[in-house]
Structure 1
Amino acid sequence: MVIGEPLVEFSASAPLTEADTFHLSFSGDALNAAVAAAATGAHVALVTLVGEDEFGERLIRFAAAHGVDTRWMRRGPGSTGAYAVGADPSGERAFGYMRACSAASRMGPSDVSAAPLAQTSVLLVSGVTAALSASCAHAVLHAAEVVREAGGKVVYDPNYRSRLTGAEAAAGVLAEIAPYAALVTPSCPGDSLPLLGTGDPAEAVRACLGLGAGAVAVTRGADGVLLGDRDGGPPVEIPAVPAGLIVDQTGAGDAFAGTVAARLSAGDPLREAVRAGTAAAAVSLEGQGGTGRVATPEDIQRLLGELSGTSDTASA
């Protein structure tokens, strides 16, 4: 299960200060992750509110067409959120959000409680969702508590966005949810510097474990993932999967998180789930926008097979 806000996406291949042509699609971290998870074959539901407008209707159809269970994508007051993103082939990007007072920002604990939280094997939530409003933050924490108490796993992606929230508030949410999380997936330095005060991946692992997380996967772009857990051993280096073509970095982290959550739900060991996530992220880089290119199980198997000669190494 994924909780968050799907968005109408207007993407351009040029910076927003220069772009005059945009491609219409649908994205947002929750939708990107849900679509990536569904593409692996997982049964994934997206829990959200969309506006009672044409774009809300199209978002529900889009999610359903990508294999997402849309029974808990409900219509509500407020508009459907949107954003514009400008990117270039090097992957640099800037976002302009149009989501103030959106339907999804009005979600609260009662909205997520309508979904079968107690029957959820893995819940994926993010700092973006928690930053939409105080009620959304309460909804994220409530869902994490219910899933954890029912025996499910919680995956939390801090996904810090300075245009949505401040570092102190985002760090506070991370500290609150970490004790419920089986896995936290901060990026370094994007999340680790503002939220944990460090640009060192190993220190970020220790900091998240110190907050109570069961395991930590620090994503570092082309440098791969540093994976640590509470077993006390040294963190493990998971190499990045090289992308065949870099078109746009939008949604790569979401593809990673969604794929990892799906593979954990299927019973994969954590390290193997993370390896699959790195492959899905590499495939995502090849498409424009957050859902422009989604990895299939065959894509993941092929890419990991090409890296079969690369062994994980321990890092102090």
Structure 2
Amino acid sequence: MSAYDVLVLGEVLVEVHAAAALRDAADGTPARLSYSGDALNAAAAAAAAGARTALLAVVGDDELGVPLLARAAALGVDVSHVRRAPYPNGAYLLGADTEGDREFVYWRTGSAGSTLGVEHVDSWRELLGASGALVTSGIAGALSPGSRDAVLAAADLVHRAGGHLSYDPNFRPRLTGRRAARELLARIAPLTGLLKTSCPGDALALVDTADPATAAARYRALGARAVAVTSGADRLLLADGDTARFHPVPVNPRPVDATGAGDCFTGTTTARLVLGDRLADAVAYGLAAASLSVSGRGGTGAVPAFADTAALAAAQR
């Protein structure tokens, strides 16, 4: 099997984007159907950043499975290794927003994505052992006990083979508890080359702090080699052991929706690291791509071309 620069393991979702905030939605509120999920968002960003990227996921055999995979392929992501299952695809309803205070309603119970398990990782063993990097998240690890085991098995395979692991805890209290998320974090952090997280969102729940610098230090104490902590919409703290400093997020003059911006950052940064960029440069590209991504609706509504990402990163410097 040919080696990939980036593999992304996790959940793909059907996205229904309402044209109004959910609390204001009424009979006849227009909505847009698309496809998202943190794994697809990150994979699309990695592909756009120049990495040969494949999606490792389980997709349902319902009527939306084919267009879902077609959308992923159109975004430049190799879907030939995706497994199919006789279950419905997970979905979520998203309310319109540009400031980050989004409203979501999820339908995941019994979904194909939640059947991800170690048996799937075993079937991808050769791919994982030869890849440059793996991107996965706490969402994938919280879908079911089997998916948690799959995330750990895949991370261990890539780590043992000398590949890079990017991990986003992505703590979701409706999906998992603090104890389970902390246990997963403690096991996966020592394998992680880049841990991307939010503060105070993830940090309060997982490392008991609302301070970005303290959060970064605590994640590094768990074993993560480098930590990127988003702190609001306009800055990110990068800590790699040698330095810890804030990087500004380039301003997008026409924001529409912030859904998937963090995934776009992770996918872009991971791609550029595997392609040989220094950590600081890869992060600058990740921040630029994330800023550009908020120009579209939904998680994959605006996946920036790398030429545009590079131009914005250069202008920021």
TM range (shorter): over 0.9
Matched, 1:91 2:97: no
Among 222, 236, 239, which residue is 2:233 paired with?
222
SS at match of 1:148: helix
* CA distance in structure 1 between the aligned counterparts of 2:213 and 2:152, rounded to whole angstroms: 26
Match of 1:9, SS state, is strand
Aligned residues: 306
The answer (yes or no) to whether the contact 2:97–2:258 under 8 Å persists in 1 is: no
Q: Are 2:218 and 1:212 aligned?
A: no
1:286 corresponds, among 292, 295, 300, to 295
Residues 152-301 of structure 1: matches in 2 within 5 Å? Answer: 152-230=163-241, 233-301=242-310
Correspondence for 1:32:
41
Q: Residue 71 of structure 1: CA displacement?
A: 1.2
Is the contact between residue 222 and residue 242 of structure 1 (CA under 8 Å) also seen in structure 2? no
**Structure 1: how far apart are the matches of 2:76 and 2:295?**
21
CA shift at 1:106, angstroms? 0.7
* TM-score scaled by length of structure 1: 0.94
The answer (yes or no) to whether the contact 2:134–2:155 under 8 Å persists in 1 is: yes
| 1:106-149 residue CA offsets vs partner (Å, 9 max, x unmatched) | 11111022221100111000011001001001000000000000
1:18 and 2:15 aligned = no
Q: Which residue of 2 aligns with 1:58?
A: 67
Once residues 234 and 31 of structure 2 are traced to their aligned partners in structure 1, the CA distance between those partners, rounded to angstroms, is: 31
Q: Distance in 1 between matches of 2:153 and 2:11?
A: 17
Tell me if the contact between 2:136 and 2:151 (Cα under 8 Å) persists in the aligned partners: yes
Kindly state the Cα deviation for residue 234 of structure 1 after the two structures are TM-superposed. Answer: 3.5
Partner amino acid, structure 1, of 2:93 = A
Q: Provide the rounded CA distance (Å) in 1 between the counterparts of 2:186 and 2:137.
A: 13
The 3 A distance-change label for structure 1 pair 89 and 237 is closer
Q: What's the secondary structure of 2:95's corresponding residue?
A: strand
Separation of aligned partners in 1, 2:196 and 2:190: 14
Aligned-pair CA distance for 1:220: 1.8
Contact 2:21–2:103 under 8 Å retained in 1: yes
In terms of mean alpha carbon deviation, does 191-200 or 90-99 score higher?
90-99
In the TM superposition, what is the alpha-carbon distance from 1:203 to its structure 2 partner? 0.3
3-state SS of the aligned residue for 1:184? strand
- Partners of 1:48 and 1:226 lie apart in 2 by 30
Aligned residue type for 1:106: T
Aligned residue in 2 for 1:102: 111
1:11-41: CA deviation from partner (whole Å, max 9, x where unpaired): 1232212222211000010001101111112
Find the residue that maps to 1:87 and give its secondary structure.
Answer: coil
The whole-number CA distance in structure 1 between the counterparts of 2:128 and 2:50 is 20
Preserved contact between residue 235 and residue 249 of structure 2 (Cα < 8 Å): yes
Native 8 Å contact 1:13 1:89 kept in 2: no
Amino acid of the structure 1 residue aligned with 2:268: T
Amino acid in the other structure paired with 1:197: D
Partner of 2:141: 130
CA shift digits 1:69-109 (9 cap, x unpaired): 10111211211111101122333211111111111101111
Residue 91 of structure 1 contacts residue 247 of structure 1 at CA under 8 Å; is this kept in 2?
Answer: no
One-letter amino acid of the structure 1 residue matched with residue 137 of structure 2: S
Rounded to whole Å, the distance in 1 between the matches of 2:22 and 2:178 is: 24
**SS in structure 2 of the partner of residue 54 of structure 1:** coil
* Whole-Å separation in 2 of the counterparts to 1:198 and 1:302: 35
2:3 aligned residue? none
- For residues 100 and 245 of structure 2, the distance between their equivalents in structure 1, rounded to whole angstroms, comes to 27
Task: Name the aligned partner's letter for residue 20 of structure 2.
Answer: A
- Conserved in 1, the CA contact under 8 Å of 2:137 and 2:168? yes
Unaligned 5+ residue runs, structure 1? 309-316
- Larger mean CA deviation between 203-212 and 217-226 belongs to 217-226
Query: Displacement, 1:164?
Result: 0.9
1:307 paired residue number: 316
**SS of structure 2 residue aligned to 1:302:** helix
The list of structure 1 runs, each at least 4 consecutive aligned residues, that deviate by more than 6 angstroms after superposition, is none
Q: Distance in 2 between matches of 1:288 and 1:221?
A: 20
Residues 88 and 110 in structure 2, CA contact (< 8 A), matched pair in contact too: yes
Deviation at 1:212, TM superposition (A): 0.7
Q: CA deviation at 1:187?
A: 0.7
* Residue segments in structure 2 that go unaligned for 5+ positions in a row: 1-6
